[in-house]
Structure 1
Amino acid sequence: MEGKELAQEYANDLKPLRAIYSFLKDRRDNCQRLVTECEEHQAWELAEEFNAEYIDYRQRCKDIGAIISSSQYSIQWLRTKHEPQGPGVSKLPYTKREVQVDDVDKVLTLQNTFETTYPNLTEDEIAEVHSFLSMLSERERDVFVSIRGKRNTHSQTARYLGISESAMYSYLRRAEEKIDKKLNSTLQMSLF
């Protein structure tokens, strides 16, 4: 079978996976909407249930999205008979490619530092997490740790800290931008 025919067969095989991805993405987005509605009505237990479902659907979307992305890369290679190149495509060997982390949970998720696993970290891992958190202002750190580390809701965090939700979102956005910038520079430097 020729490369282009094989590429088309793979592309056709991706159609059901794309449908599953679309379904899961819709469920994820619906759960996120329900979390917000429950928080607005102060239905905290129900909000937590929907948040757990949201986290599950988000992870499934990431997993399937990675499969789809990898398959598209292979299909492109089969069609062109050359390794795909361009924005977002690494030219480094597979074993040395940059780690791609697409969510702002990256510092805590990358180090498995959610509240339950933090006590099991090595001293080096704890120092690395603290180096990321130390560059944040006190309020940015409080908001980031509450939402990303302890998995509190946005409303709970704003109420606990005595700030408006818009201020809380602003602190969270700034914290995520700073962490994202530092993490990307750290990952780039670790490649060399």
Structure 2
Amino acid sequence: MQDLLKEYKETRRQLKWAYEARRESEKVLDNQAITERQLLSEMIGDVEYVIEWLETGRRPGNRRGIERQAAYQRERLMDPVRMQAFAARSTAGSPANLTEWQLHQIEDALCVLSERERECYVLSHGECFTHSQIADMLGITKSSVDTHIKRAQQKISERVMSSLFLVG
């Protein structure tokens, strides 16, 4: 990792040198020279972004890392791959195939949802449709889809905490 960081810093030094050389040698600014300097400037910015990421261990510009996010931002109610396999009901040789026990667990978690909440939740998390696509398919507003999915997540979260069937 340290070797990679050294290489990025060396690349940044060379890019800055090339940028300064272009700036000093160009007395007459033509479109190609301006384009080259802009390109070098963008490359320097990209390299500095990566260097900051490597040095701090988190994405530049984030106010806090994943380890400090609120619980609702970290929480995953179900494994997305399992939910997609449940929605697809696939029996092909995929590693995402579910056992009978896993199918029963998902069914138990989804049994507390109303029909509309279940539709929205499965379309969103199982079929990976956007909220606006779901709204178009079901003939409701996007805010209704947001509300249904939020309620479904809350109900599933409560069900996971209280059901012995979902443990393990």
TM-score (norm 2): 0.50
Higher RCO (C-alpha 8 Å, min separation 6): 1
Provide the rounded CA distance (Å) in 2 between the counterparts of 1:167 and 1:147.
13
The yes-or-no answer on 1:103 pairing with 2:75 is yes
Question: Which amino acid counterpart does residue 147 of structure 2 have in structure 1?
Answer: S
2:102 aligned residue? 125
Whether the 8 Å contact between 1:112 and 1:118 is mirrored in structure 2 is: no
Whether the 8 Å contact between 1:143 and 1:157 is mirrored in structure 2 is: yes
Provide the rounded CA distance (Å) in 2 between the counterparts of 1:165 and 1:108.
24
Whether the 8 Å contact between 2:53 and 2:60 is mirrored in structure 1 is: no
Question: Which amino acid counterpart does residue 133 of structure 1 have in structure 2?
Answer: L
The yes-or-no answer on 1:21 pairing with 2:22 is no
Deviation of 1:132 after TM superposition, in Å, equals 0.9
1:177 aligned residue? 154
Provide the rounded CA distance (Å) in 1 between the counterparts of 2:82 and 2:55.
29
Provide the rounded CA distance (Å) in 2 between the counterparts of 1:19 and 1:138.
46
Q: Deviations over 1:7-64 (max 9, x none)?
A: xxxxxxxx966844233859xxxxxxxxxxxxxxxxxxxxxxxxxxxxxxxxxx9xx7
Deviation of 1:185 after TM superposition, in Å, equals 2.9
Provide the rounded CA distance (Å) in 2 between the counterparts of 1:16 and 1:158.
38
Provide the rounded CA distance (Å) in 2 between the counterparts of 1:147 and 1:133.
14
Q: Deviations over 1:72-120 (max 9, x none)?
A: xxxxxxxxxxxxxxxx9xxxxxxxxxxxx9334x2243x7231487531
Please give the secondary structure, in 2, of the residue aligned with 1:152. coil
Provide the rounded CA distance (Å) in 2 between the counterparts of 1:150 and 1:24.
32
1:161 aligned residue? 138
**What is the aligned-residue identity percentage?**
27
Query: 1:20 and 1:117, CA in 2 relative to 1: closer, same or farther beyond 3 A?
Result: farther
Q: Residue 147 of structure 1 is aligned with which of 105, 119, 124?
A: 124
Whether the 8 Å contact between 1:143 and 1:171 is mirrored in structure 2 is: yes
Number of matched pairs: 108
Provide the rounded CA distance (Å) in 2 between the counterparts of 1:123 and 1:24.
44
Question: Which amino acid counterpart does residue 165 of structure 1 have in structure 2?
Answer: K
Question: Which amino acid counterpart does residue 182 of structure 1 have in structure 2?
Answer: R
* Greater percentage in helix: 1
Whether the 8 Å contact between 1:146 and 1:152 is mirrored in structure 2 is: yes
Unaligned runs of 5+ in 2: 1-51, 91-96
Question: Which amino acid counterpart does residue 107 of structure 1 have in structure 2?
Answer: M
RMSD across aligned C-alpha pairs, in angstroms? 3.9
1:65 aligned residue? 66
